[in-house]
Amino acid sequence: MLAASPSQLRAETAEEFYRGKRINLIVGYGPGGGYDVFARLLARHLGRHIAGSPQILVQNMPGAGSLVAANFLYSVAPRDGTVIGVVARDMPLLGLLGNNPNVQFDPRRFGWLGSSSSFADDAYVMIVRTDAPVQSIEALRRPGGPPLLLGGTADGTTGDDVPRILADALGLNIKLVVGYRDTAAIFLAMERGEVSGRMTDLSAIQSLRPDWLRREGGYRLLLQFGRIVRHPDFPDVPTARELAPSQSARALIELAEMPLLTMARPFAAPPQVPQDRLEALRSAFLAAHRDPQYLEEAAKLGIYISPVAGEELVRSIAAMAGAPPELLAHLRRLLASRKGGG
């Protein structure tokens, strides 16, 4: 029997592995929404920053507010570095809370590549039609007043969980109409008057419905979430932190805001991807976000770019896991109550 030569025994480098390969980029939402815009933008630039220059193919996998995609990445996708994905920013917190039996992942085991946005220049806003029956936070807090109908997708997404958190922390009379497939479907429902508004990224509105933010656009902002201070473009719109009536309410809001402040658009690889390939993907992720061509295209799309390294996402998830047990328990009970409808 012939002994293997040193060259045959040498481990394959990340560059050798990726040469001629294709990386599938899974998007946990349908085409046309904010996550899809960020994913397709990254896909057009990421490959040339990975040694070996693999092709990047976007694959939409909508379902349960990206829970289907997160479970796929964790349990089904190959663990060789040929599949990555972008999921809802609330997926890590949902996994840590452990109150959804459909969650099949531990967020601490993903290979986090980074986030396209830290939300430093963005905001998560409550946007409503100007003919909605409720037009102010004061009216939303008024006992016996009409509820504000907000559109949503599924449990575990920011657009569904944040209104519930705000209703509890700020005493807002909100009713969620859930089950819409994706952002595009909710925007259409708002235009048709099926719902009065929704909570979404300011950047998504600026990219997909920029006319809504004009004075005559037919929509207005009521509240900013995921902001320590008010967004400079909307100094008259209060933050959730400002409106908190107590320290406990503010603590709940701050915990819920943590995913937004560090992982507004989080990209991950499955667990157990070989370390050299994970490092190659992480380095390429940050390099793509510094690429002048990428930044020029992002500016044309009207989206904010403030990248966060994968290691920072790991630290943020650890911080969420280390929050006071009573605060996590309250949030767990609050989000578990959504099973009853509303």
Average pLDDT in the chain: 91
Nearest CA to 159 out of 254, 89, 233 is that of: 89
- Please say if the pLDDT value at position 269 is more than 90: yes
Stretch 215-233: mean pLDDT: 94
- Please say if the pLDDT value at position 241 is more than 50: yes
Query: Which residues are CB-contacts of 335 (< 8 A; sequence separation ≥ 6)?
Result: 97, 99, 155, 161, 164
Indicate if 124-259 has the same CATH topology as 18-118+261-333.
yes
- Please say if the pLDDT value at position 34 is more than 70: yes
What phi, psi does 182 have (nearest 5°)? -165, -175
Stretch 285-296: mean pLDDT: 98
Residue 154 pLDDT class (50, 70, 90 cuts): low
Is residue 337 within 8 Å of residue 168, measured between CB atoms? no
- Please say if the pLDDT value at position 81 is more than 60: yes
Residues of the chain with pLDDT > 70, as a percent, come to 94
pTM of the model: 0.81
- Please say if the pLDDT value at position 338 is more than 60: no
- More confident: 10 or 243: 243
Stretch 143-161: mean pLDDT: 83
pLDDT, position 160: 83
**What is the C-alpha separation between 167 and 172, in angstroms, rounded?**
4
Residue 341 pLDDT class (50, 70, 90 cuts): very low
Q: 166-206, pLDDT tens digit by residue?
A: 999 999 999 999 888 888 899 999 999 999 999 998 988 98
**What is the C-alpha separation between 92 and 137, in angstroms, rounded?**
29
**What is the C-alpha separation between 46 and 285, in angstroms, rounded?**
7
Q: Which of 202-216, 310-324, 327-341 is predicted most confidently?
A: 310-324
β-strand partners of 239? 224
**H or E segment to which residue 84 belongs:** strand 83-86
Nearest CA to 160 out of 212, 115, 100, 79 is that of: 100
Stretch 20-34: mean pLDDT: 93
CATH of region 18-118+261-333: 3.40.190.150
Six token digits for residue 15? 């560059």
Domain ranges in the chain?
18-118+261-333, 124-259
pLDDT, position 340: 34
**What is the C-alpha separation between 141 and 321, in angstroms, rounded?**
32
- 199-208, 220-229, 293-302, range with the lowest pLDDT: 199-208
**What is the C-alpha separation between 201 and 183, in angstroms, rounded?**
10
Give me the sheet containing 197-201, strands edge to edge: 174-177, 148-151, 197-201, 124-129, 219-225
- Please say if the pLDDT value at position 58 is more than 90: yes
What phi, psi does 115 have (nearest 5°)? -130, 140
Is residue 91 within 8 Å of residue 107, measured between CB atoms? yes
pLDDT, position 303: 85
pLDDT, position 339: 43
Note the helical H segments in 6-116.
Answer: 6-9, 14-18, 34-46, 67-75, 91-97
pLDDT, position 342: 29
Stretch 115-137: mean pLDDT: 93
- Please say if the pLDDT value at position 2 is more than 60: no
* Cα radius of gyration rounded to whole Å, the chain: 21
What are the contacts of 105-109 at 24+ separation with CB within 8 A? Answer: 105/70, 105/71, 105/73, 105/74, 105/75, 106/74, 107/317, 108/314, 108/317, 108/318, 108/321, 109/74, 109/271
Q: 94-113, pLDDT tens digit by residue?
A: 999 988 899 999 999 999 99
- 69-83, 132-146, 155-169, range with the lowest pLDDT: 155-169
**Residue range 124-259 in CATH 3.40.190.10:** yes
